[in-house]
Amino acid sequence: MDGQLTEFQRALEAGVRQFVQQEVIPSASRFEHADEYPQPLVDRMKELGYFGALVPEAYGGAGMDAMGLVILTEELARGWMSLTGVIGSHSMVAWMLNRFGNEDQRREWLPRMARGEMRCGIGITEADGGSDVAALRTSARREGTGYIVNGSKMFITNSEKGTHFGVMVRTNPAADKPHRGISCLLMGRDLPGFRVSRHLDKLGYKGVRTGELVFENCAVPASCLIGEENRGFQQLMASLEMGRIQVASRALGIHRACFEDSVRYAQQRRTMGKPIAEHQAIQIKLADMATSLEAARQLTYHAARLKDSGRRCDLEAGMAKLFATDAAQRASEWAIHIHGGYGYIKELPIERYYRDAILLQVGEGTNDIQRLVIARRLVEKHPAS
Ligand SMILES: Cc1cc2nc3c(=O)[nH]c(=O)nc-3n(C[C@H](O)[C@H](O)[C@H](O)COP(=O)(O)OP(=O)(O)OC[C@H]3O[C@@H](n4cnc5c(N)ncnc54)[C@H](O)[C@@H]3O)c2cc1C
């Protein structure tokens, strides 16, 4: 609904929308209710080149920018949010690798990532805490030409299906500030000492696998270090701008699903002699849903365009993530109310939107953490003297 989309962006939107309408929406509920990994849809996403979204064309990818990722993500999430999990952290790793990796690493990994042969996840969170990233404890001790990694990562998306993980590790426990001793290693799951210790069952976000990764004296070659040693925290913060824009786009997709399904249902369902769309209580919900969707879209597009201009956008990405995910969660509640009893029944996807939307307020930094990021940046931008 943005008049400023380029021809490429409009074609991308139309292409993904067609895939979602024809292939995702008809099968999403079947996979989701069985909590089954949607292998046929993942295979199609490979064919369609979605795994290479953020991989430059020079390495065989689609060479999309943040706006491209927003469009792709919103359209997929309109059909089923879990599909955005399969390519979400994969795309974050591709972005980090392209931005901070060296040429040898780009040449070795990016083409395989674009083809979806190499499928990535990202390991930041630990069982003891996710919000305080600087306090992470997984250690990587220098030994010979590489590292010995010990520790674990919790709630990791693509745990069972990923072949490689961008893992945040502590390389300098003696650093003057904790965030200065962190690095990023790209770890293959076939490394001895690397295992997925358990699968975690969830409220929503079904089908996509979430688990715990454990590293026991896992030897990692130094060639797997992404970017500079002990600069991982700064690299991660830059990647999280992209990550938060991507999560805001997932929220746009769920929010749009809630609105589109509700506005249709409200015209079909009749009570007291007329369609419920003619009752003011329903009209107010539809109006608020559409208005908050438009506001969320403007914030998300603004953050993406800033990112694409090369400017810092932690404030804008944080605002987009906070607003869009809160708005989607509220919209999913209203969608249930508009659908009455049917909203709560698994025959319709409405209850799924509700179970999926709430995750977006937690993942990629909880919404209260976004508020802290936003406030910190506001104080920086508006000094008292
Ligand atoms: C389905 C799912 C998939 C995920 N996928 C991944 C993944 O692929 N990779 C990955 O690394 N992580 C992943 N996560 C982890 C997710 O990013 C974390 O759950 C999230 O960042 C919160 O961390 P936590 O769960 O440790 O909560 P905590 O950090 O323990 O926070 C608990 C509560 O305290 C609040 N809080 C904490 N600190 C503060 C503070 N300073 N001020 C105010 N309030 C505060 C939080 O807002 C929250 O409400 C996933 C999580 C889920 C549920």
Distance 155 CA to ligand 1 centre (A): 9
**Residue 355 — very low, low, confident or very high, per pLDDT cuts 50/70/90?**
very high
Please give the Cα distance from 250 to 245 (Å, whole number): 9
Q: What is the DSSP letter of 197?
A: E
Question: What per-residue confidence (pLDDT) applies to 356?
Answer: 98
Question: What per-residue confidence (pLDDT) applies to 168?
Answer: 98
Give the mean pLDDT of the chain: 97
* H or E element in which residue 188 lies: strand 182-188
**Over 70: is that where the pLDDT of 2 sits?**
no
Return all residues near 249 (Cβ < 8 A) that are at least 6 apart.
69, 70, 71, 73, 74, 77, 84, 300, 324
Mutate to test the pocket of ligand 1, among 32, 212, 356, 369 (most ligand atoms within 8 A of CB): 369
3-state secondary structure of 385: coil
Question: What per-residue confidence (pLDDT) applies to 212?
Answer: 98
Please give the Cα distance from 117 to 256 (Å, whole number): 32
Residues in the ligand 1 pocket, defined by CB under 6 Å:
89, 121-125, 129-131, 155-157, 202, 205, 210, 359, 362-366, 368-369, 372
- Write the single-letter amino acid at 63: G
Q: CA gyration radius for the chain?
A: 21
Q: What is the DSSP letter of 299?
A: H
**Residue 1 — very low, low, confident or very high, per pLDDT cuts 50/70/90?**
low
Name the CATH code of domain 233-381 (choices 1.10.1040.10, 3.40.50.1700, 1.10.10.10, 1.20.140.10).
Answer: 1.20.140.10
Question: What per-residue confidence (pLDDT) applies to 258?
Answer: 98
Q: What is the pLDDT of residues 242-284, one digit of tens each?
A: 999 999 999 999 999 999 999 999 999 999 999 999 999 999 9
Q: Are 179 and 230 in contact (CB under 8 A)?
A: no
**Over 90: is that where the pLDDT of 329 sits?**
yes
Query: For the chain, where do the domains classified as CATH 2.40.110.10 start and end?
Result: 120-229
Mutate to test the pocket of ligand 1, among 32, 122, 125, 167 (most ligand atoms within 8 A of CB): 125
Instruction: Report the nearest atom of ligand 1 relative to the CA of 365.
Output: 21
Instruction: Report the nearest atom of ligand 1 relative to the CA of 158.
Output: 8
Q: If we measure between CA atoms, which residue out of 354, 344, 338 comes closest to residue 281? A: 338
- Write the single-letter amino acid at 143: E
The Cα angle at residue 186 between residues 182 and 192, in degrees rounded to 5 = 105
Instruction: Report the nearest atom of ligand 1 relative to the CA of 367.
Output: 47
Query: For the chain, where do the domains classified as CATH 1.10.540.10 start and end?
Result: 7-114
Distance 370 CA to ligand 1 centre (A): 11
Please give the Cα distance from 287 to 344 (Å, whole number): 22
Catalytic residue among 32, 316, 351, 364: 364
**Residue 385 — very low, low, confident or very high, per pLDDT cuts 50/70/90?**
confident
Query: For the chain, where do the domains classified as CATH 1.20.140.10 start and end?
Result: 233-381
Q: Are 202 and 358 in contact (CB under 8 A)?
A: no
**Residue 330 — very low, low, confident or very high, per pLDDT cuts 50/70/90?**
very high
Distance 112 CA to ligand 1 centre (A): 30
**Residue 4 — very low, low, confident or very high, per pLDDT cuts 50/70/90?**
confident
Nearest-CA residue for ligand 1 atom 16 is 363
**Over 60: is that where the pLDDT of 312 sits?**
yes
**Over 90: is that where the pLDDT of 158 sits?**
yes
Q: What is the DSSP letter of 211?
A: E
Name residue, tokens 């190499």: 118
**Does the predicted TM-score (pTM) go above 0.95?**
yes
Please write down the HEC assignment for all residues of 39-71.
HHHHHHHHHCCHHHCCCCHHHCCCCCCHHHHHH
Mutate to test the pocket of ligand 1, among 93, 131, 184 (most ligand atoms within 8 A of CB): 131
Of 3-7, 101-105, 223-227, 275-279, least confident by mean pLDDT is 3-7
Q: How does DSSP assign 113-158, residue by residue? A: HHTTSS-EEEE--BTTBSS-GGG---EEEEETTEEEEEEEEEEEET
Looking at the chain, the number of H-run helices and the number of E-run strands are 11, 10
Q: What is the pLDDT of residues 358-371, one digit of tens each?
A: 999 999 999 999 99
Distance 261 CA to ligand 1 centre (A): 31
Distance 363 CA to ligand 1 centre (A): 6
Domain 7-114 grouped into CATH 1.10.540.10: yes
Instruction: Report the nearest atom of ligand 1 relative to the CA of 372.
Output: 42
For the purposes of burial, counting CB atoms within 10 Å of the CB of 193, is it exposed (0-12), middle (13-18) or buried (19 or more)? Answer: middle
Please give the Cα distance from 60 to 62 (Å, whole number): 7
Mean pLDDT, rounded, for 163-171: 98
Confirm whether 364 is a catalytic residue: yes
Return all residues near 380 (Cβ < 8 A) that are at least 6 apart.
none
Distance 115 CA to ligand 1 centre (A): 31
- Write the single-letter amino acid at 356: D
Give the C-alpha distances (Å, rounded to integers) separating 372 from 137, 311, 328, 360, 368. Answer: 23, 20, 21, 17, 6
Instruction: Report the nearest atom of ligand 1 relative to the CA of 126.
Output: 26
Q: What CATH class is the domain 120-229?
A: mainly beta
Nearest-CA residue for ligand 1 atom 11 is 124
**Over 60: is that where the pLDDT of 6 sits?**
yes
